Amino acid sequence: MVAEQLRHPTVAGIARGDLDERVFASWLEQDYLYLLDYVRVFARLAWQAPARRVGDLVDLAHSTLHDELDLHRSLAADFGADLESAAKGPACAAYTSWLLEAAADYADGLAALYPCMWGYSTLGTLLADAAPADPRYRRWIDTYADPGFAELTGLCAEMLDEAEPEPRRARRLFEEGMRHELAFWDV
């Protein structure tokens, strides 16, 4: 499914650095709203987590709230996105409501949120090899190609493995999450 994302016109435009600025601004607004709910998913999972993982999930929520959303605020200024007035579109609303519902169960929630982290880490790594000259798009790519982001992704994978979800159910949740990820690029 990463190959499908790489072929998606929005991702391909980011990779080339020539994506229409209005499209990226719209995507930024939706992703900003998504990330606010992603923080809530981490918080909901932290409430259910084994004691030794509470801090990890709180740290993931903190990193998302401060680091990723700071990136979005910075890029919003460059692209003219209006983060404060944005309203969720259908893909964002469907994805976030699905994630929040999945997070009612610790193992299911981890399986549902993993596609986002894994997908962005993978995309960032793949796109970094030929990042565009436009520093705005390069900053986005560099964020997700960063080894620190890969470490956070690995931490999520570790927590998911420890939660021992039912394998078929975890696979279905992962695949549905990847379908949401692909649909999210349609702005």
Catalytic residue among 4, 116, 156, 158: 116
- Distance, in Å, from the CA atom of 94 to the CA atom of 72, rounded to the nearest integer, reads 21
- Distance, in Å, from the CA atom of 158 to the CA atom of 182, rounded to the nearest integer, reads 24
- Among this protein's residues, is 92 annotated catalytic? no
Catalytic residue among 68, 92, 156, 181: 181
- Among this protein's residues, is 116 annotated catalytic? yes
- Distance, in Å, from the CA atom of 74 to the CA atom of 138, rounded to the nearest integer, reads 13
The CA angle 11-124-44, to the nearest 5 degrees, is 95
Q: Among 15, 20, 18, 21, which residue's Cα sits nearest to residue 131?
A: 15
3-state secondary structure 137-161: HHHHHHHHHCHHHHHHHHHHHHHHH
* Cα–Cα distance list, 159 to 17, 44, 107, 139 (Å): 35, 15, 9, 28
Give the residue numbers annotated as catalytic, written as ranges.
116, 181
